Amino acid sequence: MVMKMNCTGVVLAGGESSRFPIHKAFAHYDGEYFYERAVSCLKPAVSSVYLVAHPSIAHKLSASSAMVIQDLPYLQGQGPLAGILTAMNIREGADWYAVITCDMPLMRTEIYEILLTAALCTPGIQAVVPVVKERQQPLAALYHKSCKPVIYKLLTEGKRSMYGLLQSVNTKYIDELCGDWNPHDFININTQEDYSLYIEKGLRE
């Protein structure tokens, strides 16, 4: 296990889950809610976990082992970058922020340990991002505190793309050849069909 760095976990549960019958945070896998699995995934690798929740569900997460927060008023409705910036503003003492969305129930702690090791071994890096089948995974990644003003600038310019952030900071990419992961670790459950295929039937890509 990698030595713990000064890293805060950020679980993003701010979306409206419009393509899923319920809010995805409350879908089940292996006896846990998706949001509980996300928190459990991060906790062994970080010093604390913040759960950035949509206002409609924040009150239902009060029993979570993470600290539940909502997007700052001026950031609400602006997507994942806003959730990350909110966590950075509320938890200012961290050097790194490990981000996960609540709809990735197959994600493993070991992946974040690999990312943290890469961050520790690469001075000056601002983001560490997995690449799976040539696709970047910015919502299962690490971001240094120095990204904060960059994110703020992007949002004030109306730019909400995670990929815009990756292009604006010093990003280290790690693919399957260097990281110990499989594509199914990064599966997003976006629809009921996804849930049926990957959770109920256990299909793996």
Binding residues for Mg(2+): 103
**For residues 4 and 14, is the Cβ–Cβ distance under 8 A?**
no
Binding-site annotation, residues: 12-14, 24, 71, 103
Secondary structure of 2-55 as H, E, C letters? CCCCCEEEEEEECCCCCCCCCCHHHCEECCEEHHHHHHHHHHHHCCEEEEEECC
Which residue is listed with tokens 């996300």? 38
Bin 47: left if φ > 0, else alpha if -120 < ψ < 50, else beta.
alpha
Tell how many helices (H) and how many strands (E) occur in the chain. Answer: 6, 10
**For residues 44 and 1, is the Cβ–Cβ distance under 8 A?**
yes
Binding-site annotation, residues for GTP: 12-14, 24, 71, 103
166/130 Cα distance (integer angstroms): 12
Q: Which amino acid is at 30?
A: D
